[in-house]
Structure 1
Amino acid sequence: MSWWVAATTLLAFVVVAALVVPWDWVPGGRVVPVSADELLTPAQLARAEDYATAQRHLSWASLALSLAVALWLGLTTLGARLVAWLRGPWWWRAALGSALVLLAGLLATVPLRLMIRANAVEAGLSTQTLGPWTRDVAVSFAVSWVYAAVVVLLVVGTARRLPRTWPAVVGAVAAALVVAGSWAYPVLVEPLFNDFEPLPDGELRTAVLELADREDVDVSQVLVADASRRTTTLNAWVSGLGGTRRVVLYDTLVDDVPQDEALTIVAHELAHAREHDVALGTTLAALGVGFGVGVLGLLLGSERLLRRSGAGGAARPEVAALVLALTAAGTLLASPVENAVSRSIEARADRVALQATGDEAAFEAMQVRLATRSLADPDPPALSQWWFGSHPTLVQRVGLGRGVLEAGRDAAGRP
């Protein structure tokens, strides 16, 4: 059964990704080579590289440490003995055990998290004092625990009732929960971190509505997030499905950026909405989760692994630490595929935005502004970008924009 679940969902993922993901960043053209020193001054380049390198290494260390803790608890008997020590019904021990495993990882990485925060504060990117920052960490932990507990309870509860077919049932239910979560995320999770207000009437809103008409997108939900209480960086996003779909702009973007540049970001987000990128990402995520459940079923069928972990089987709450360890490892291993898809989707949104606005100068200026405000490395190490980069780099985005214009000139027969 686990083989069947893994094989069918993997096949479906490959078919959808091959047919629907826009792998060609510049159809009929190319990404024009661009060097970072064409876009940034030597001082800007040095500052961005120094900051990004420090944060990247700290983030890698934090990820490695949290994964090591998860594997230590999950692949030894320690995690199972911790859950067995708890008292109460199986579902309570599974849920509370999940919280303790996650808490161990969080506490181990607190010093690194504080160093990452300190760097951001020193660089002027973070406006949060320690109290609000701690509150955000706590809320993020609570959200992560809910996700983790749902996974563990779903596996254990289903395996208790359907010991032979639980991977198929869990895979289907987990995929459905991914879709439901994508729909509910904007109304349940995003408000935990930001307050939102409609984009106020004025010149920018009028321009946004005109741009939406050109892109044939319904923008009944264009919101502004109070991001300035947390950061000085610029950002925007689109989230939700159906009635919960919304375009969100940072208030820093609305307040601090020239309108022509802000509109290139809005056009980018509208492109995501027009191309139904949230639905595409949700579909691929649901199939990916189904594949992950199939692999999990295969691993939990290994007597050697169960003995090593002391879990006893998928139907026992003591399996919680092992499930979370395997999930953490699987998530890391899946990152290159996930981010390759994300970069291609983001590249299409850039291309559509440029075509919608027709303002190459504003597009390029906005990409430089985004990078300099966040001190992003304009051209990070290839392995880092391949594994962790969810968006094209600065040099890639500018090269993409120039490639779109070059392809347009070639199509029109102009020099």
Structure 2
Amino acid sequence: MSEPERAKAADRAAGAEGADGADRVEGADRVDGADPVEGVGSAEGAADFTPEQIARGRALRRGVLPVAAGSSAVSLALPLALGLTSGGARLIGAFGDGWAVRVVGAGLTLVLLPLPLTLPLAARGRVVRARFGLVTQGWAGWALDQVRGLLVSLPLILGALFAVYALAGTARWWWAWAALGAAGVTFLLSFAAPLVFEPLFNTFTPMEPGPARDNLLALAARDGVPVREVLVADASRRTTALNAYVSGFGRTRRIVAYDTLLSTASPREVELVVAHELGHVVHRDVPRGTAFGALGAAAGVCVLAAVVTWSPLLDLAGVARFADPRSAWLLAAAASVAGAIVGPAGRALSRRIERRADLHALDLTGDPAEFIAMQRRLTVANVGDPAPPRLPHLLLSTHPTPAARIAAARAWRPPGT
């Protein structure tokens, strides 16, 4: 699964307060005055949103920067601090001398040690979103979601570490086998996410028979996309944000709509959101993303293997060879740096894919006016910034700006004209 698709799947599984129609941002403690929109053209968005809506979106965006910057800093600084010193090796070694015990210690420290730093940041972001009316879930439910996330991530991390260090200690070409394994796991998780992980975080119920369901199924049929069912996700127990998506493969493919979207948007706007998601299916974005992600995972393992077996880095980490599980924090440090480097490129690819899905929705429905209305509704409901500054947008955003999407709809012409 590609990075953009992994990010979207993770957001859906954890009940994130974002939406496909607008970049998800978190806000500040107050709403700024309605001064001109900064960033990608000072006039962008001014014709489609009120000064108050623009100011509100800007305030929420400004509030996310400390949280996002803090999370990114922790994700990079902690592995570097423990992986490029002997601290990580000593920490894992404290679990005992046995190989298996050290692998378990590596997994536990990798997953649990960042929590005292990341959970307060996540809680702060939640508080900010709540001040903008985006959060409906109580703290107990939020805490339960964090526990569910740990119960998913910890076994995956432990399984990966056991496989990598077993191979590193027994096979000469361990990195090649690990690369094949990484590619296979990427494919497996792509198929398993809709069926195994998503139901852990949301309840899905079949949409009641009626015109709304019939229209969505007819839209998919007109687009040549076989859909097994239309489901409603109980997103309202966490958020007021709006979203819909298409998930699954073959017989498991289904349209999923947030109950917040169905209760807020007009039926035609719901169809426009779903038409965008059908564009991802028609253009095979998930299978292609999965294949691209599998290749990237395999290539990444090969690069990481060359890095973590380099003697100067092993000396810094305080281990003699990578096959020693005490090197796990060095592995985490190398992976964190690699993620920080390739992240912006992955988000740029995501924006390109989202623009193509927007064009598909316009071609399928032939309704730019409703598309614009839908973008306005999503942006306002999700408290998005219509035109954020260029640099943060290029580095952090997985979707085009709302202003750019609306401009593209106005410039759209029917195919063949």
Shorter-chain TM-score tier: 0.7 to 0.9
Question: What aligned pairs does 1:138-157 form with structure 2 within 5 A after superposition?
Answer: 138-157=147-166
Question: What aligned pairs does 1:270-309 form with structure 2 within 5 A after superposition?
Answer: 270-309=278-317
Q: Measure, in 2, the Cα distance between the counterparts of 1:355 and 1:370.
A: 20
- Partner residue, 2:122: 113
Residue 340, structure 1, aligned to residue 386, structure 2: no
Question: What aligned pairs does 1:61-100 form with structure 2 within 5 A after superposition?
Answer: 61-87=70-96, 89-100=98-109
- The CA deviation string for residues 346-402 of structure 1, in whole angstroms up to 9 with x for no partner, is 111111111111111110111111111111122222222222211111012112222
Q: Measure, in 1, the Cα distance between the counterparts of 2:133 and 2:201.
A: 20
Secondary structure of 1:38's aligned partner: coil
- Partner residue, 1:127: 136
Q: Measure, in 1, the Cα distance between the counterparts of 2:252 and 2:100.
A: 31
Q: Measure, in 2, the Cα distance between the counterparts of 1:241 and 1:151.
A: 25
- The CA deviation string for residues 180-234 of structure 1, in whole angstroms up to 9 with x for no partner, is 1100111111111101112221111111111112101111132211100000000
- Partner residue, 1:320: 328
Residue 242, structure 1, aligned to residue 266, structure 2: no
Q: Tell me if the contact between 2:379 and 2:386 (Cα under 8 Å) persists in the aligned partners.
A: yes
Question: Percentage identity across aligned positions?
Answer: 38
- The CA deviation string for residues 256-279 of structure 1, in whole angstroms up to 9 with x for no partner, is 110011100111111212222110
Q: Tell me if the contact between 1:306 and 1:313 (Cα under 8 Å) persists in the aligned partners.
A: yes
Which of residues 52, 56, 60 is equivalent to 1:47?
56
Which of residues 357, 371, 374 is equivalent to 1:363?
371
The residue type equivalent to 1:83 in the other structure is: I
Residue 373, structure 1, aligned to residue 386, structure 2: no
Question: How far off its partner does 1:312 sit?
Answer: 3.0
- Partner residue, 2:45: 36
Secondary structure of 2:246's aligned partner: strand
Q: Tell me if the contact between 1:272 and 1:349 (Cα under 8 Å) persists in the aligned partners.
A: yes
- Partner residue, 1:389: 397
- The CA deviation string for residues 104-132 of structure 1, in whole angstroms up to 9 with x for no partner, is 21211222222111111111001011111
1:324/1:150 Cα in 2 relative to 1: closer, same or farther (>3 Å)?
A: farther
| Unmatched 5+ stretches in structure 1 | 1-31
Q: Measure, in 1, the Cα distance between the counterparts of 2:42 and 2:411.
A: 9
> Which range moved further: 199-208 or 40-49?
199-208
> Which range moved further: 137-146 or 284-293?
137-146
Which of residues 310, 319, 322 is equivalent to 1:311?
319
More helix by share: 1
Question: What aligned pairs does 1:8-19 form with structure 2 within 5 A after superposition?
Answer: none
> Which range moved further: 275-284 or 242-251?
242-251
Q: Tell me if the contact between 1:98 and 1:324 (Cα under 8 Å) persists in the aligned partners.
A: no
Q: Measure, in 1, the Cα distance between the counterparts of 2:284 and 2:319.
A: 42
Q: Tell me if the contact between 1:73 and 1:321 (Cα under 8 Å) persists in the aligned partners.
A: yes
| Unmatched 5+ stretches in structure 2 | 1-40
Q: Tell me if the contact between 1:34 and 1:399 (Cα under 8 Å) persists in the aligned partners.
A: no
Q: Tell me if the contact between 1:79 and 1:101 (Cα under 8 Å) persists in the aligned partners.
A: no
Question: How far off its partner does 1:135 sit?
Answer: 1.3
Q: Measure, in 2, the Cα distance between the counterparts of 1:89 and 1:192.
A: 34
1:401/1:146 Cα in 2 relative to 1: closer, same or farther (>3 Å)?
A: farther
Question: How far off its partner does 1:152 sit?
Answer: 2.2
Question: How far off its partner does 1:237 sit?
Answer: 2.1
- Partner residue, 2:146: 137
Q: Tell me if the contact between 1:228 and 1:252 (Cα under 8 Å) persists in the aligned partners.
A: yes
Secondary structure of 1:222's aligned partner: strand
- Partner residue, 2:202: 194
Q: Tell me if the contact between 2:135 and 2:238 (Cα under 8 Å) persists in the aligned partners.
A: yes
Q: Tell me if the contact between 1:47 and 1:375 (Cα under 8 Å) persists in the aligned partners.
A: yes
- Number of aligned positions between the proteins: 377
For normalisation by structure 2, the TM-score amounts to: 0.86
For normalisation by structure 1, the TM-score amounts to: 0.86
> Which range moved further: 254-263 or 68-77?
68-77
Secondary structure of 1:224's aligned partner: strand
Q: Measure, in 2, the Cα distance between the counterparts of 1:340 and 1:125.
A: 27
1:92/1:265 Cα in 2 relative to 1: closer, same or farther (>3 Å)?
A: farther
The residue type equivalent to 1:277 in the other structure is: D
Q: Tell me if the contact between 1:197 and 1:223 (Cα under 8 Å) persists in the aligned partners.
A: yes
Q: Tell me if the contact between 2:67 and 2:121 (Cα under 8 Å) persists in the aligned partners.
A: yes
Secondary structure of 1:127's aligned partner: coil
Q: Measure, in 1, the Cα distance between the counterparts of 2:252 and 2:79.
A: 34
- Partner residue, 1:266: 274
Report the RMSD for the aligned CA atoms in angstroms.
Answer: 1.9
- Partner residue, 1:210: 218
